[in-house]
Amino acid sequence: MDIRLVNLTKIFADKNSEVRAVDNLDITIPSGKLIGLLGPSGCGKSTTLYMIAGLLEPSSGQIFFGEDDVTALSAEKRGIGLVFQNYALYPHMTVRQNIMFPLQNMKLPKAEILARTVKYSRLVGIEELLDRKPKQLSGGQQQRVAIARALVKEPKVLLLDEPLGALDLKLRQEMQIELKRMQQKLGITFIFVTHDQEEALSMSDTIVVMNKGKIQQMGTPEDIYNEPKNSFVARFIGESNIFDGIMLDDFKVEFCGKLFDCVDKGFEKNENIEVVIRPEDIKMVEPNEGMLKGIVTSTVFKGVHYEILVKENDRVWMLHNTKSAEVGSELGMDIYPEDIHIMRKEEN
Quick: pLDDT tens for 19-49: 999 999 999 999 999 999 999 999 999 999 9
Mean pLDDT of 117-132: 94
Q: What is the pLDDT of residue 163?
A: 85
Q: Using alpha carbons only, how large is the chain's radius of gyration in Å?
A: 24
Q: What is the pLDDT of residue 88?
A: 87
* Nearest alpha carbon to residue 297 among 314, 310, 285, 280: 310
State the pLDDT at residue 246: 97
Residues 243 and 127: their CA atoms lie apart, in Å, by 54
Question: What is the pLDDT, as a whole number, of residue 321?
Answer: 97
Which of 50-54, 86-90, 252-256 has the lowest average pLDDT? 86-90
Average pLDDT over residues 205-209: 97
pTM score? 0.90
pLDDT at 348 (0 to 100): 47
Mean pLDDT of the chain: 94
DSSP 206-220: EEEEEETTEEEEEE-
